[in-house]
Amino acid sequence: MKIGMITDSLGNLSFDEMLRASAELGLETLEFACGNWSSAPHIDLTAMLDSAATRAEFVAKVRDHGLTIAALNCSGNPLHPGPQGKKHRQVTEDTIRLASLMGIDRVVMMSGLPGGPGDANPNWIITDWPPECADIQRYQWDDCIIPYWRDLVKFSNNLGIGKLCLELHGHQAVYNVQTLFRLRDAVGETVGANYDPSHPMWMGADPLAAVRKLGSAIYYVHAKDTRVEPVPAGIDGVLDARPPNHYAERAWNYITLGYGHGETWWRQFCTALKQAGYDDVLSIEHEDMMLSPMEGMRKSVALLRNVAINLA
C-alpha cells in the first residue's frame, strides 16, 4: 500500500513548503482538495482549469519531489437546498473537469444532504420516528439524492472519470455501508467508498466488518483515527455537537493514528483491506487538535510504515 496524505493536513504550509515536508516525511502520493469545505490551500482550481501550462508546472513540482497525485477532493454539500448548494455543485463539476484534464481517475467527495420539502437547510434523518421521518427520507432520496447522482455519474463518465469516492460521514445522505449501497444500486458502480474508519468508530460500527462487506466497492481510503472518550461518552453517549477545540469535554475526538487504536488494530485494518482487494493509497488526514500538524503526520507515517513492514 502507498502512504499518502490529503494536503489540508499541512494546510498551514505553502505549496512548496508542503511538497518539501511531504518528501521529508517519505510520502509517496498526495490528495489535493479543490474547494467547497476545504480552503484549497495548495491548488487554485480556476487557474488550473484555465491553463495547460499551469497544470504542467503543478505536476512537475509534485514529481520533482518524488511524489504522485492520488486523487482530487471536492468534499462539500452539492445537495444543500440553499445558495451554498449551487456553489458546491459548481466546484464539484469543476473538480471533475480538472481531474479529467490531468488524467486523474478518482475524485474524493461526500454525497451531500438535502433538506425536507421547503427546508432552507439540510436535514439528517437517523431515526424512523416520529412518522414524518419516513416521508422526509422518501423525498430526499427519490426527489433529490438519486436524480442528482444519476446526472453526476453521467457527467463524470462523459469526462472519463470512473470513480467517485464517497466518504461515509455524519450529516450526509451516505454515512454508512447500507446507504452507500443504496446509492450505488440506484446509480451504478461509478460510486464507491472513500473508506475513512474514523467515522464508523464514533458511530458504533466496526470498520473491519464494514471493509469485508464493502469489498470491491472500496475505491480509496483515508487514514484517520478516533478515540471515544469513556467518561463523556458514558454520560451523554456519542452524539456530540460540541466544537472540536473542546476536545477535553467531547465524547469522541479525531486523533493521530495509534492514539485511538493501536498498531495492532491498524495492521488488522490493512489486512482486511487487502483481503477485500484494496492494495492502494492510505491517505492520512490529520485533524488532531492536540498535536501540531507536522508532529501528527510524523507519528502517523511511522505507524503506517511499521504496519506495512509487518504486512510484507
Give me the pLDDT at residue 312, please. 66
Q: Which residue has the cell 487487502?
A: 274
Q: Which of 68, 88, 67, 61 is nearest to 77 (CA)?
A: 88
C-alpha cell at 158: 462523459
* Percent of the chain predicted with pLDDT > 70: 100
Pick the CATH number of 2-307 from 1.10.260.40, 3.30.70.20, 3.20.20.150, 3.40.50.2000: 3.20.20.150
- Per residue in 199-215, pLDDT tens? 999 999 999 999 999 99
- Predicted model pTM: 0.97
Using DSSP, state whether 132 is helix, strand or coil.
helix
User: In degrees, to the nearest 5, what angle opens at C-alpha 192 toward C-alphas 262 and 122?
Assistant: 90
Using DSSP, state whether 62 is helix, strand or coil.
helix
Contact criterion met (CB below 8 Å) for 208 and 218 = no
Using DSSP, state whether 79 is helix, strand or coil.
coil
- Per residue in 160-214, pLDDT tens? 999 999 999 999 999 999 999 999 999 999 999 999 999 999 999 999 999 999 9
- Per residue in 112-132, pLDDT tens? 999 999 999 999 999 999 999
Q: Distance between CA 107 and CA 33 in Å, rounded?
A: 10
- Per residue in 288-312, pLDDT tens? 999 999 999 999 999 999 998 877 6
Residue 230, preceding bond cis, omega within 30 degrees?
A: no
Using DSSP, state whether 166 is helix, strand or coil.
strand
Residue 193's beta-bridge partner residues? 166, 218
C-alpha cell at 24: 521529508
Q: Which of 48, 42, 77 is nearest to 62 (CA)?
A: 42
